[in-house]
Structure 1
Amino acid sequence: MLTIYITHSKSFDFQAELYHPLRSSQLNSEHKIILPHENSTAPFNSKELIQSGNCDLILAEVSFPATGQGIELGWADAAEVPIICFYTKDAKISGSLKVICDTFVEYTDSEDMIIKLQEALANAQN
């Protein structure tokens, strides 16, 4: 079981489009998934989580640019926490992500997102 931190922009309906599909999926029973704004809009201390060594993997929804997310990904890269970036088809993602991430997952809808994230996580654990 991995402890996975989910990072994302606040520029979309992340509760419906990201959190609900993740919590409803098999991934939720297989891993400890940390959703930073599931129960509060207050800032989440992701720096402490990442630097503590208690985070095994970052899943970064990168369809929308976000400065705070970039900072979190920098912390993860510095702490050598693996990062998987995922984004909606046709999203224009930042080229800078290639510096800190080797695994990119493109998806079309929430069902496709879950299937592809399951595959990416299986590959990451091998």
Structure 2
Amino acid sequence: MALDKTTSGIGSSAASASVNELFGAPLSQSELVIAGLELEAKVSGYHADNVAPSILGGFVLIRSYEPLELIQPNFPSEKRLYFAPLNPKFEAPTKEIKAALRPEVSMSNHVWNCSQAGALVASVLQGDVVGLE
């Protein structure tokens, strides 16, 4: 599968998991996420927003990259939640979207703040006291 540098995303991330399975799953899920991150970095930046859910399944929050810390929220079993990927009828290349951010806030600060906000909400909803640290 060739990676299109302008519209990579869930498809290329999911392909990494498929290739791993074809070769007898030599990589663990954690190793596969890290390998997917390295591949993603070559195309559109080092981010796990597509790689982690494609490989791990479900809803995944990225709390940090150094070290890599992923949170898979445990939703109450009596609740039924479904997630569906949507594909808008317009292209939004990652580089163009990043360029639209205000220069006063660096991309790394923006990503860090958003990941911490998501982790906080996940910890509260799960009653995870350790995650609140």
Give TM-score scaled by structure 2 length: 0.28
Bigger Rg over Cα: 2
Higher strand proportion = 1
Comparing both structures, which one devotes a greater share of its residues to helix? 2
Q: TM-score, normalised by structure 1?
A: 0.29
More RCO (CA 8 Å, sep 6+): 1
